[in-house]
Structure 1
């Protein structure tokens, strides 16, 4: 199904990626791919390992494949496996080679990089409340390295959702 446009909703922790993905899917009457890592990490009994990162990479790709045929012209993705690269670089000093190899091959048509202008919400799976600016810069760097078509989405409440819809509409030429 190559005629489906893939829109990735990305950004540092606690920027509203899941809520934004759900909102966009409803707005555009399509489906959204949840973040595989969230469910995976909720079931971990210890610290995340290198193999866990590889497993999450494969899990995210599989989820996207599963949801793709259900998409109505747009597939909204709540994060991407670029997150695996970013976390692996931070936690282990490097990312799995298979993740690095797939980055240029498995791209998205458009990325919404959610800004860190929302208040931090504590969550057992969030680890870096004081490093949001750092990770925002990392996201810019990673998206630029992929020559990705992206826009930063800012704002509070409905204004944030409206800004995302406007960005997508501009991308789609509406």
Structure 2
């Protein structure tokens, strides 16, 4: 299963693009669990809450993988990943729980789409940093480079973002197809 994560700062269109990609490729996607969690419990959170959110995100990812497999698809889209939790935790609490760091180091995605901050900020009661999006974008970029992750930066209008994302996904699908052994 090719797991494609969409990551980046707040209000960069991750949810919209995840849904569009899943629809385009007729597959499943995992929504951002943090939104559901904080909508149910309120916008205040602790480090323990971030750990619960991380576990919920991993469950959502596995549920999406199972749905994609049921559909007979080889790709799934994930609206966020634990890198978001790492950066969020380090910013809010000065550190990230070790198990999250281990998970990030051990589990790599087939492709990570890093969404740029060139879309207008959309106010939302759960969003916290309208004036720090470039700062956070730079953190994501640095983290992905240090992980030597297969990532692509996505920017522009929503239509341009979908086009760019599809280009990178198609390249990944073609590479996966060409690396499969020929059936006899």
TM-score (norm 1): 0.94
Structure 1 stretches of 4+ with a deviation exceeding 3 A read none
Aligned residues: 171
The alpha carbon displacement at 1:65 in A equals 1.4
Residue 94 of structure 2 corresponds to: 93
Unaligned runs of 5+ in 2: 176-184
1:151 is paired with a residue whose SS is strand
Equivalent-residue separation in structure 1 for 2:132 and 2:43 (angstroms) = 22
Equivalent-residue separation in structure 2 for 1:70 and 1:165 (angstroms) = 21
The alpha carbon displacement at 1:171 in A equals 2.6
TM-score (norm 2): 0.89
Higher helix share: 2
Equivalent-residue separation in structure 2 for 1:17 and 1:154 (angstroms) = 11
The alpha carbon displacement at 1:46 in A equals 5.8
Equivalent-residue separation in structure 1 for 2:43 and 2:121 (angstroms) = 24
Residue 171 of structure 1 corresponds to: 172
Residue 55 of structure 1 corresponds to: 52
Equivalent-residue separation in structure 1 for 2:75 and 2:173 (angstroms) = 10
Equivalent-residue separation in structure 2 for 1:28 and 1:80 (angstroms) = 20
Residue 42 of structure 1 corresponds to: 39
Equivalent-residue separation in structure 2 for 1:26 and 1:13 (angstroms) = 22
Which has the greater radius of gyration?
2
Residue 154 of structure 1 corresponds to: 155
**Superposed CA offset, 1:32-59 (max 9, x none):** 0001111001122462101101101111
Residue 132 of structure 1 corresponds to: 133
Equivalent-residue separation in structure 2 for 1:5 and 1:43 (angstroms) = 31
Q: Is the 8 A contact 2:43 2:126 kept in 1?
A: no
Matched, 1:105 2:106: yes
Equivalent-residue separation in structure 1 for 2:174 and 2:115 (angstroms) = 21
RMSD: 1.2
